[in-house]
Structure 1
Amino acid sequence: MTERRKIIFIINPISGTVKKSGVVKIIKTVLDKEFYDYSIVETMYSGHASEIAENAKRNNVDVVVAVGGDGTVNEVARSVVNSDTALGILPCGSGNGLARHLMIPMELHKAVEVINMHVVHALDYGVINGMPFFCTCGMGFDAFISMKFAESGKRGPVSYLENILREGLKYKPETYEIKNDDGTTSYKAFLVSCANASQYGNNAYIAPQASMSDGLLDVIIMEPFDMLEAPQISIDMFNKTLDRNSKIKTFRTKHILVHREKEGYIHYDGEPVMTNADVDISVVNKGIKIIINPFADKTKRQPNMVQNAFSDFFNDISNMRTDLSRQTRHIHVLNKILLKRLNNL
């Protein structure tokens, strides 16, 4: 009989909205116990997931599974990079960006079945000012929103979208000097994002063509836009067509240095942190082993409640046949309507 592989499930009891007692039951019911020798551990404080994963790596555990959202995934993943311990994901967060990019099923029993198949690939990860990230990192508006989201104490896509709608029209673009192997270019931008994977989460695709196996980061520069252009940018993000928008500049690289006018927030996988004016971002090629879904169909994507709310909202705007001043007024009104609609979801 083949020796069973060791696997540890690290559960963040406060991430997302899924009841973790139900998760434990699914693990115990669906996991292939002839293949895996398993244990389940709950985190008790911030950073605990990293400690558990680090200890598991030292003890040659074959798989460490992050049970939670992107924050939990980041904590676990950064502790097993450059090792033989593989990362598994049971998505229980509000965005689940890395799981969605990898087409890990959102239904937990199906996600456990993916873990049972134990198909492991070596994939890329990124580093921003020494901090590993696995989906995206960036500065500008998305880092600002990550900070607002963390301050609000409310989780979930509705809270995230509320912050975008409230703060988006007030945010002032900044100037960034970006240096890579091709030279240095200055941009005035709403945000600068570097993507190892394709999306922020909730099927919001900031870099629809990004790959975790090409040894490159997709750099996205969003130039300043007005409130009448904002709806199309959001539509493109959910339709996986953002790279075709005229306000978006993209390129691929292994390493960039970004100089800002002053210190400010950056984010890595949605976690905000204050840093100085200089930001160093690079990719580590095939630096982490991850259990992937071998039957993933990259052409399929499920809509969600945020997309449905956006769809209604933007249909209202696109159907307008009014002058510019009336459109501007309507957009302010529709922002308020959408916020009310989201609060009722």
Structure 2
Amino acid sequence: MLFLFAINPASGGKGKNEWEVAIHNFFAQNEHQAELFHLDGETDDVELPKKIQEIKPDCVVAVGGDGTIKCVAEQLVDTGIPLGVLPAGSANGMARELNIPQDIDGSLNLLVNGESRPIDCIDVNGELCIHLSDVGLNAQLIRYYQRNNLRGKLGYLKSVVKVLSQRRLLKVEINLDDQCVQRAAFMIVLANARMYGTGAVINPDGDPSDGKFEIVVFRRLTFWEIIKLFWRYQPFNTRNIEIFPATSINIETHKKTHFQVDGEYQGKVKEINAKIRPGVLLMRLPA
């Protein structure tokens, strides 16, 4: 097999020399081939598909975090070319979701010994979503974090404190499949998976291969409900957190609010339209 590694040098806030050395060493010991391609964050949507067309790889591997996975996946949807992952980002939420090993050797072995299986994606306002999108509190947190000069846990904590001090309820109307729901909420999540990169489980029964996604409505944010997010066996109090399965949805807010897709801040919106795209992305996953 020929593997094309799309490497994001900036993800995770540290260099990828260790990963590149490991890739070279690993493929020097087997019959498979590897070629490296460095993403630059500016011309990737043009140069990456050109590279794929040029060498026709059997698998394209995203080396980075959730943003890198999204960038590479956008070029592979409906192509039949599998997406592999080396989790070299800071959180690696989607890799954890799919049980992809977090260490270099384990994730490299998975590429050659795993199997290619289809997963669903969500079309959210024209953006491809593989993992989680949301409006409200978390999207605002991502905006502050990305604008913050600090990185790592300290930068994240500073952003959390700022967002929680400014939290406001949103008035929303949610039209999903055959029902209409009106709520006041701090955050609405469109979930194709179970958890955020932090390990917080917001959608315990989520499955990225079941042909649907879930809308998670955070009506209240109590201390105990936040604690429960990190313990999967704890059921949510439906007065605080509601979950609705759907294949398509329209959300309208009474005023513009912060919006993010797979960890990338998208600005403020008043309306979200989303629909499931079943099985459109092949991924290299544990057998």
Question: How do 1:64-79 residues align onto structure 2 when only pairs under 5 Å count?
Answer: 64-79=60-75
With CA pairs under 8 Å and 6+ residues apart, which has the higher RCO, 1 or 2? Answer: 2
Matched, 1:262 2:258: no
Question: How do 1:209-224 residues align onto structure 2 when only pairs under 5 Å count?
Answer: 209-224=205-220
In the alignment, is the contact (CA less than 8 A) between 2:173 and 2:183 conserved in 1? yes
- The structure with the largest helix share of the pair is 1
Question: How do 1:91-170 residues align onto structure 2 when only pairs under 5 Å count?
Answer: 91-170=87-166
Pick from 277, 283, 286 the counterpart of residue 290 of structure 1. 283
Report the alpha carbon displacement of residue 155 of structure 1 after superposing the two structures with TM.
3.5
- The structure with the largest strand share of the pair is 2
List 4+ stretches of structure 1 deviating above 6 A.
none
Aligned residues: 285
Matched, 1:236 2:228: yes
Task: Give the alignment's TM-score, normalised by structure 1.
Answer: 0.78
Q: Distance in 1 between matches of 2:76 and 2:235?
A: 32
| Aligned-partner residue type, residue 129 of structure 1 | N
Q: Label 1:38 to 1:290 Cα distance change in 2 as closer, same or farther (>3 A).
A: same
Matched, 1:51 2:61: no
**SS of equivalent residue, structure 1 residue 224:** coil
Matched residue, 1:207 = 203
- Cα root mean square deviation, aligned: 1.9
In the alignment, is the contact (CA less than 8 A) between 2:220 and 2:241 conserved in 1? no
| Aligned-partner residue type, residue 54 of structure 1 | P
Task: Give the alignment's TM-score, normalised by structure 2.
Answer: 0.92
Report the alpha carbon displacement of residue 14 of structure 1 after superposing the two structures with TM.
1.3
Seq. identity, %: 25
Q: Distance in 1 between matches of 2:27 and 2:151?
A: 29
Matched residue, 2:18 = 22
Q: 1:171-224 deviations in whole A, cap 9, x for unaligned? A: 101111000122211110010001111112031222121101101101100003
Pick from 271, 274, 278 the counterpart of residue 278 of structure 1. 271
Q: Label 1:49 to 1:97 Cα distance change in 2 as closer, same or farther (>3 A).
A: farther
Q: Distance in 1 between matches of 2:157 and 2:232?
A: 18
Matched residue, 2:174 = 178
Larger Rg, first or second structure (1 or 2)? 1
Q: Distance in 2 between matches of 1:188 and 1:243?
A: 21
Q: Label 1:91 to 1:199 Cα distance change in 2 as closer, same or farther (>3 A).
A: same
Q: Which moved more, 1:78-87 or 1:158-167?
A: 158-167
| Aligned-partner residue type, residue 257 of structure 2 | G
Report the alpha carbon displacement of residue 37 of structure 1 after superposing the two structures with TM.
2.3
- 5+ residue gaps, structure 2: none
Q: Distance in 1 between matches of 2:73 and 2:235?
A: 28
Report the alpha carbon displacement of residue 287 of structure 1 after superposing the two structures with TM.
0.6
Matched residue, 1:301 = none
**SS of equivalent residue, structure 1 residue 103:** coil
Report the alpha carbon displacement of residue 151 of structure 1 after superposing the two structures with TM.
1.0
